[in-house]
Copies of this chain bind each other. A is one copy, B any other.
């Protein structure tokens, strides 16, 4: 373990492990359940493969994750460090403005959504939802169209037409949808504002908002919340 700060203080020692470039984001991906190398990378798309390998090795060396059979899992220490990641994310949800042009990423958004579907609320039959995002910053490489194919208890994300009939069409401004995802605005409001449009089979369209759980950080109370309520 390379000593960076030269301090015995546990904050410094922990920072040598935790506060490395990319590490908190990699840990978030593990906290959210990714186990396999390529899955982890999907959640951290801008990291290079070589660097991801290096970081994972460091985390193994520090006892934060175990690696076996091509899978990475948080150890007990890792689970607890995951709580720090969540705490940091809650701070970010409260005190930062995450939605900015250079942070919009439709692929990452849909990859995150895939994990937050209320499977128990889905109908018996397979449901296919097609997302078309507008307002995607120019120069953005990721596709603008995605399909979520949900067939209890499985949820698959497709980037190419899966060939099933589409039940719900979601046309949405990307920035607005990210805001909905993060709990900054209610989906009903985004629909009313025209930032999000739902079309397709009546019943499915009505139920769609209840299928889509939001980000785990969406429920974090914001600093102005009490005041906003008073005003409203």
Contact = CB atoms under 8 A, between A and B. Distances in A.
A22 to B, nearest CB: 7
Contacts of A231: none
B19 A96 contact: no
A105 B7 contact: yes
Contacts of A112: 9
Q: Which of A20, A23, A81, A104 has the most CB of B within 10 A?
A: A81
A25 to B, nearest CB: 5
Contacts of A8: 98-100, 103-105, 108-109, 178, 182
Contacts of A104: 8
B95 A80 contact: yes
A15 interface: yes
Contacts of A23: 19
Interface stretch (A52-60, A85-93, A143-151, A186-194): A85-93
A13 B102 contact: no
